[in-house]
Structure 1
Amino acid sequence: MDTVTIDRAEYDRLRAAAEDLEDLRAYDGAMARIAAGEEELVPADVVGRLLAGESPLRVWREYRAFTQAQLADAAGVNRVQIANIESGGKTGSVETVKKLAAALEVTLDDLV
């Protein structure tokens, strides 16, 4: 077994460089997924609205520039269902939320 001894400052510098390299690889991977259309950048105001507890369906619908009627047509659901989900009056069936997610090009998790 070979052993190498380095001083603490050199060890810390090498660890920091390894962490920087890991961060750069993660950044490059994220940028490649964005360029390939596998991920999208979401504006801070959209994220802020979601974090503030606003209806995810409303936030994504407005971000995608749909009216309730347009989304209802695109998803094949009733506009009243959308209004009820956005107001918190109802949650909508899994099937309904899946259709809405598909029309909005988001995941089911993004809406629940």
Structure 2
Amino acid sequence: MVNPAQILRDSQGRPMFAVLPIAEYERLLEAADEAAALQAYDAYKEAAPETFPDEVAGRLLDGEHPVKVFREHRGMTQSQLAQAAGLKQSYVSQIESGVRTGSVDVLKRIAAALRVDLNDLS
């Protein structure tokens, strides 16, 4: 069998370039893509991000307040969330109803209590 690669050398005989048949080049690209995809998948699995049911996503897409959606998903009452975040129940209620927006600090505390990223509440 003939070597599919042609090696081009410099004036001192050191390999500088390899010329491959296009089929071999495309095979190598596919193998690299597969390896990269496997590596990305492994990194994703290692990070073990939480996923949420379709119902949660649907409610968020329908415009329900994320604090309420995630609170109910976690099976918490407003009082329980307020206590976990160091807030008053009425403040949580006002945030969920849109009367108040909550400061970044308050939303961080709520996110921590709900075990979600702060970005999930925006």
TM-score > 0.5, shorter chain as reference: yes
Kindly state the Cα deviation for residue 44 of structure 1 after the two structures are TM-superposed. Answer: 3.0
Unaligned runs of at least 5 residues, structure 2:
1-14
**Measured at CA, do residues 82 and 20 of structure 1 come closer, stay the same or move farther in structure 2, by a change above 3 Å?**
same
Kindly state the Cα deviation for residue 15 of structure 1 after the two structures are TM-superposed. Answer: 1.2
**Measured at CA, do residues 20 and 98 of structure 1 come closer, stay the same or move farther in structure 2, by a change above 3 Å?**
same
Q: For the aligned residues, what is the CA RMSD?
A: 1.8
Spell out structure 1 runs of 4+ moving beyond 4 A: none
Give the secondary-structure state (helix, strand or coil) at the position aligned to 2:16: coil
Greater relative contact order (CA < 8 Å, ≥ 6 in sequence): 1
1:110 corresponds to 2:120: yes
Kindly state the Cα deviation for residue 61 of structure 1 after the two structures are TM-superposed. Answer: 0.6
2:89 counterpart (65, 72, 79): 79
Give the total of aligned pairs: 108
Give the Cα separation in 2 of the matches to 1:53 and 1:86: 11
**Measured at CA, do residues 44 and 20 of structure 1 come closer, stay the same or move farther in structure 2, by a change above 3 Å?**
farther
Give the Cα separation in 1 of the matches to 2:55 and 2:23: 42
**Larger Cα-atom Rg:** 2
Q: How does 1:1-112 map to 2 (within 5 A)?
A: 1-34=15-48, 39-112=49-122
Kindly state the Cα deviation for residue 47 of structure 1 after the two structures are TM-superposed. Answer: 2.7
Give the Cα separation in 2 of the matches to 1:13 and 1:45: 42
Deviations 1:11-60 (A, max 9, x none): 222212211111111111111222xxxx3232233233333432111111
Give the Cα separation in 1 of the matches to 2:59 and 2:109: 22
Give the Cα separation in 2 of the matches to 1:4 and 1:51: 52
Q: TM-score, normalised by structure 1?
A: 0.81
Give the Cα separation in 1 of the matches to 2:31 and 2:55: 34
Q: Which protein has the bigger helix share?
A: 1
Q: TM-score, normalised by structure 2?
A: 0.76
Percent of residue pairs identical: 46
Give the Cα separation in 1 of the matches to 2:21 and 2:58: 46
